[in-house]
A and B are shown apart, each in its own frame.
Chain A
Amino acid sequence: MTETRGLTMVVFVAYILGVFVLAAASHRLLAKKSFLHEYFLGSRGLGTWSLAFTFAATSASGGSFGGYPSLIYSYGWVLALWIGSYMIVPLCTMGVMGKRINQVARKTGAITIPDVLRDRYQSTPVGLVASVMIIFFTTCFLIAQFKLGALIIEDTFNLSFRGSYELSLAVFAITVVFYTAYGGFRAVVWTDVMQGIVMGAGVVVLIPIVLSKSGGLQRATQTLSESPPMAVTSVPGPDGDKGTFNDLVFRARRSPSPAGIQYVHPRVPGADLSVAWDGTPDAFVRVALRTDDSGMVTSTANDVRRAIEEHPELSDAIQVEIPYKNNRIVTQNGGFVTVGADGLIWFPDDVSEYRYVFLQGEDFLFGPGRTNTGAPFHPLGMIFSFFVMWAITGMAQPGTMVRLIAFQESKTLNRAIMTVTIYFAFIYLPFVFVVMAARNILPVLTPEDSDRAIVLVATRLVADMGTAYQVLGAIFIAAPFAAVMSTVDSMLLLISSCAVRDIYQRSINPQVNQRVVRFVSYATTAIIGTCVTVAALHPPDFLQKMIVFGAGGLAATFLFPTMLGLYWKGMTRQGALASMLGGCSITIGLFLPTLAGSPRIELLGLHPNVWGLVVSLVLAIVVSRLTGPPPPELVRRYFYR
């Protein structure tokens, strides 16, 4: 592992140097071309490979290499259905609006999405609302991504000293803000191409290695189906979810096994630790924890393990293990000693019990997948919602739409659609095969640590292979970092373009000269990056949910005003405004309970993002009918020769 870590460091440094070189090359072009068109749009000069890889890399955030494999590890084959609509995502997200939005943008010289909408509807309010929405939703998204980037650096290099998060955040922020601000759109695209090739090549090479090392997918599936029921805890810690050393794995030794494990906080002072199970398969093993004189829990995971192992009946029924990263290592007498899971079983004030169910092998082979608390992961409403979300909401992400107004000619788009279709087919579905094949040879991971599944696959399976394979493993460790960067740089530039082009140049100071525009563009990108970095120093806990919220909010705001603006002659500026404001309001409203730690509102079992789209569509049509027809000169300009 040390050797791999050294290689990882080399890969990281090489990667960051490569990014800076690309930024410098891109910066040279800025001096030769029209600044705004070059800085924010690459002079509408994207070729096939650039368009394909920048589109793919921008779509694939850090989640593709962290969260997605983590979900496969946690829920099994149902993730193939969860990601299923990617079979048609490239065609939908690039083919439905790509050629038309590019043509419409050329008609007016638009270089941002708010630009396109403002010109299409001849409405400053539409442009300003679009800009404000992009800045709001994308900033939420960015803060979470900055945090994710810092955590990846911290985790990858095992930095656990005081201030390690801040140092990691600074390294991430300085790198990404510098090359984005200095190089602009073309630097972002070039780095996307580099990142996209690395990610794609990594997956393609990893597949045969994993299948060969794990004994094949068939054997892995068979082993999984025969594996005994198992429960994995995910007890939080007072300092967050990480490094609390208080989780355990409970594996059934015989049938019938208990339904699960129940940790109970007695809420009385001086209680003793006790474990009990009535022997029936529907009952949970009840673990009542020890408390001190002030009523605080003093039992550690080690205590629970010992109590079960010493219990005459339970020790026959359950085997207790320590999951990955929960066996604390301390230095003692100049050497390293493992002390087990010595973290406290911690409870927030408003929680008095945790329940973790035993999952059978079949739960990983069939839907809906179950969480470690027994809740269904992917019920019917979510099957429909996610099929809509990936393909339909993916059409309306400003970060990807802006790439559609940046390509050279329709032939470029045509070839890029084919390229991305094949690229996604080699990335997303094979990920399910890789993680499912490797699952049985990985250590048991808690839900919090399952983000490291793909890193463990890459490092453990190639550890005894040649240097070339170890470099591959190192690349895979760096891949989530690259994926986060490729999303962050696009978002950073997107916000900057809204502030500079749509708000400053087109609404406040239309007569601004190029020198000032240049200065304002660099400064805005740097200032936004700095503000996001400061916000990411103390990010609120709900930020990960805000990533989904941000993507859904952007789709509800932009899909129908853009799509109907391109294809429906009857769409009016009032309809566009109502659609934008209504769609995003519904999305915000249904997500609002998550701010208080409650679940989002899922009307009729459907995801809030679906409702945002429905309301946005209805308002666009109804209000346009009521306020139409639109001015004939606009219809003529956009729909006739």
Chain B
Amino acid sequence: MDKVDPTPDPVYVHTLREAKIILCLWTICLVYTCTYCYLYGYLDHPTQTGSTGPSLGALVGPLPQFDRDPDSLTMPLGLGIPDWVFYGIVVPWCLCIVGTLIFCVFVFQEDDLGVEMDEATGGPPDGNEDRPDA
């Protein structure tokens, strides 16, 4: 058996690193947006959610304290967007656009993805990858 070359495929290394960064960004968005919107954008916060895991209340205190009074609604910057939507979704969405552009410009590696292999020959194609007519 051939000995394995210890040099990892650079595309694998780069894409794995990029995938980890993206999944970290997704987790940050998930935690911030879901938590903020649930706490500050919901009229009622039932204490019995049916979940057997650690409840959100254990982390932030009794949930009913976050029950929203409809009269407390504000619209930041006079845009007509409810405050919880503005801070919980519009602002992070804008930040995500900026983050994505930064990722694409500074983090994303422009790798050589290789040439197309012909499954029949195991080498580069000769211009007609399909089997010839009989």
B26 with A391: CB separation less than 8 A: yes
B131 with A511: CB separation less than 8 A: yes
Asked if A640 CB lies within 8 Å of chain B CBs, one says: yes
Write out the residue numbers on chain B whose beta carbons fall within 8 Å of the beta carbon of A360: 70
A44 to B134, CA, bound (A): 26
The residue of chain B having its C-beta at the shortest distance from the C-beta of A391 within the complex is: B26
Asked if A440 CB lies within 8 Å of chain B CBs, one says: no
How many residues in A have their beta carbons less than 8 Å from beta carbons of B?
A: 85
The digit string for A615-641, where 1 denotes a CB below 8 A from any CB of B, is: 000000000000000001101101111
How many residues in B have their beta carbons less than 8 Å from beta carbons of A?
A: 81
A232 to B46, CA, bound (A): 26
The digit string for B111-127, where 1 denotes a CB below 8 A from any CB of A, is: 11111111100000101
Write out the residue numbers on chain B whose beta carbons fall within 8 Å of the beta carbon of A37: 129-130
B110 with A384: CB separation less than 8 A: no
**A133-141, A279-287, A363-371, A541-549: which one contacts chain B?**
A363-371
Asked if B59 CB lies within 8 Å of chain A CBs, one says: no
**A101-109, A144-152, A236-244: which one contacts chain B?**
A101-109
A604 to B10, CA, bound (A): 42
Write out the residue numbers on chain A whose beta carbons fall within 8 Å of the beta carbon of B114: 103, 106-107
Asked if B80 CB lies within 8 Å of chain A CBs, one says: yes
Instruction: Tell me the minimal C-beta distance from A381 to chain B in angstroms.
Output: 7
A367-B41, A414-B104 given; A641·B29 CB < 8 A: no
Asked if B60 CB lies within 8 Å of chain A CBs, one says: no
Beta-carbon contacts under 8 Å, B76-134 to A: 78-82, 84-85, 88-90, 92-93, 96-97, 99-101, 103-104, 108-119, 125, 127-134
B80 with A216: CB separation less than 8 A: yes
Indicate which residue in A44, A387, A514, A632 contacts B30 across the interface (CB closer than 8 Å): A387
B49 with A605: CB separation less than 8 A: yes
B1 with A87: CB separation less than 8 A: no
B80 with A218: CB separation less than 8 A: yes
A418 with B42: CB separation less than 8 A: no
A558 to B86, CA, bound (A): 35
A573 to B30, CA, bound (A): 32
Write out the residue numbers on chain B whose beta carbons fall within 8 Å of the beta carbon of A219: 80
* Most chain B beta carbons < 10 A, residue from A80, A365, A381, A517: A80
Write out the residue numbers on chain B whose beta carbons fall within 8 Å of the beta carbon of A276: none
Asked if A212 CB lies within 8 Å of chain B CBs, one says: no
A414 with B33: CB separation less than 8 A: no
A96 to B17, CA, bound (A): 9
5 A-B residue pairs with CB within 8 Å: A44-B116, A85-B30, A368-B44, A383-B38, A635-B4
Closest 9 CB pairs of A and B: A217-B80, A218-B80, A362-B70, A100-B15, A87-B96, A367-B42, A87-B93, A109-B119, A513-B134
* 20 extra A-B contacts, CB within 8 A, seeds A34-B130, A87-B96, A605-B49: A34-B127, A84-B34, A84-B37, A90-B100, A91-B26, A95-B19, A100-B11, A366-B41, A367-B37, A367-B41, A409-B113, A410-B108, A414-B104, A421-B101, A429-B90, A432-B85, A514-B131, A604-B50, A633-B2, A635-B4
